[in-house]
Amino acid sequence: MTEDDQHLRLLSIFHSIVAAMIGLLSLLPLIHLGLGLAMVTGHLGQPGGDAPDRMVGWFFVVAASCVILTGLSIATCVALGGRFLALRRRYTFCLVAAGLACVFTPLGTVLGVFTIVVLMRDSVRAAFGRPPYAAAGPAPGSTA
């Protein structure tokens, strides 16, 4: 097993771990979602419920739903990125997943940076079936 194979295997495992952590943390707003639903249905607050109580309840429901869906979507992308790293497929998707992982400090940032560093190696690009950077043409923005 080469050094690149070891690095990609470890990165794949760590992507799965970080994706699970992101997924669990993105479920924390379920508390807000429950409170919002209780406000909207009138189970929390005064019987009959005012319009302001319901408006605040809807705000909680919408905000919590957006945070939960965004977090679970990012966790899914990071997990798929780890799977594709193990399979040596979808190079660009792996780079995007590494970039998304960078948002979640500190562990996701470390994982994302290391993943990007490993994916930039010509030997790893070859493992994904990509040409090395030297053969890919001039770098963007260069005058050559």
pLDDT in tens, 33-75: 999 999 888 777 666 556 777 888 899 999 999 999 999 999 9
Looking at every residue in the chain, the average pLDDT score rounds to: 88
Q: Mention every residue, 6+ apart, whose C-beta is less than 8 A from residue 53.
A: 39, 42, 44, 45, 46
The amino acid at 57: G
pTM above 0.85, yes or no: no
Q: CB-based contacts of 10: which residues, under 8 Å, 6+ apart?
A: none
CB 110 within 8 A of CB 17: no
Beta strand ranges found along 24-118 (DSSP E)? none
Residue found by looking up tokens 């798929």 in the block: 80
Q: Where are the domains of the chain?
A: 3-127
Rounded Cα gap, residues 8 and 95, in angstroms: 13
If phi > 0 it is left, if psi is from -120 to 50 it is alpha, else beta; for residue 3 that is alpha
In order of 9, 80, 87, the CA distances from 5 in angstroms are 6, 18, 11
Kindly state the tokens that stand for 124: 């790893």
7, HSE (Cβ side, Cα atoms, 13 Å)? 16
The tens-digit pLDDT sequence of the chain (144 residues) is 788 889 999 999 999 999 999 999 999 999 999 999 998 887 776 665 567 778 888 999 999 999 999 999 999 999 999 999 999 999 999 999 999 999 998 999 999 999 999 999 988 999 988 888 765 566 666 665
Give CA–CA dist 14/63, Å, rounded: 29
